[in-house]
A = this chain, B = another copy of it.
Amino acid sequence: TQHYRITLLSGDGIGPEIMAVAVDVLQVIGKQLDLTFAFQEALMGGAAIDAKGEPLPAETLELCKSSDAVLLAAIGGYKWDSLPRHLRPETGLLGLRAGLGLFANLRPAKILPQLVDASSLKREIVEGVDILVVRELTGGVYFGQPKGIFATETGEKRGVNTMAYTESEIDRIGRVGFETAQKRGKKLCSVDKANVLEVSQLWRDRITALAAEYPDVELSHMYVDNAAMQLVRYPKQFDTIVTSNLFGDILSDAAAMLTGSIGMLPSASLGASGPGVFEPVHGSAPDIAGQDKANPLAQILSAAMMLRYGLHQPTAADRLEQAVLTVLDQGKRTGDIMSDGMTLLGCRAMGDALIQAL
């Protein structure tokens, strides 16, 4: 028996509902494959602000550090949007990334054949799209110093952030990019703004140098503005994309929306060692919270990424992903992905269907 300690950060809005489904499903797959999970709950985001006065209490970070993997649902909501920056749910998320050293964020945008028509793009453009964005997650303009709002000589305010990368930061995420591409279509597109930014010039130089170590991967470079265009124009040209924190934030969301069903998309955030964090791309959807309407499938697919990348249990991951495809093939849908002739299920019922499929 393989034993794992999993920290659950259910967060806000629909978080607790979709997390409950993920836990049930993990228990079932654990029994099937002789894995046991010890789940420990911790507070983060709005829930932590309400209970403890801060979005990432020290004991939450400690619990995460001491576990084998962290499963996160969703954080945030209107309620906390006007608090000062250090008290916002997002600040907790940035603290978690920094605290666990999660420098590599993997964001798949894969069109499922069952849901092609959910896309706002034409079927022939999106059918078969399978992109993985590897986003740097602990550097760049998100964390660069100096930052703040300062007074200038003339007395007016100036807002400042610093977009910076060192060579070793670039190499570290670059390697994840190349290694991820090796396991996929062997095509890596590095996205930067090297025609304008020095930080991007260094990025491009290092990625180009690394390519010598990965002769089986076909490397290309693209400017970020062009990448945003090309994702819309002809997304099938992309296999794996590696890029900086801010560009990855924007492009992974654009890529996600090509699918038309962001209620289906998981993500993984990984460090050099220690536990990774696995979470859906969608938000906490406070408007439908507590109504058993949420789509738990991105949470399930996040649990699958946890099994694959965090716990190195590819068989369990495959089974979970297969179960998701099975319920879709059965025509089962939550409200966000509902279409004519399909069967509408609530969050819980979708979880039961998954367990059935397993």
Contact = CB atoms under 8 A, between A and B. Distances in A.
Interface in A189-228: 193, 195-203, 224-226, 228
A321 to B, nearest CB: 24
A255 to B, nearest CB: 9
Given A157-B166, A228-B228, A229-B257, A88 B202 contact: no
A79 interface: no
- Counting contact residues on chain A (CB < 8 A from B), the size range is 35 or more
Interface stretch (A145-153, A296-304, A326-334): A145-153
A229 B281 CA distance: 12
A48 interface: no
Contacts of A229: 253-254, 256-257, 262
A197 B85 contact: no
A197 B147 CA distance: 8
Contact of A120 (B125, B142, B162): B125
B156 A164 contact: no
Contacts of A231: 254
A163 to B, nearest CB: 5
Given A161-B199, A198-B159, A166 B152 contact: yes
A200 B141 CA distance: 12
A167 interface: yes
A319 interface: no
Given A246-B193, A253-B229, A254-B232, A160 B162 contact: yes
A242 to B, nearest CB: 16
Contacts of A33: none
Contacts of A257: 228-230, 232-233
A274 to B, nearest CB: 23
Nearest to A166: B158
A121 interface: yes
Interface of A: 85, 88, 90, 94, 120-122, 125, 141-142, 144, 147-149, 152, 156-168, 193, 195-203, 224-226, 228-234, 246, 249-254, 256-258, 260, 262
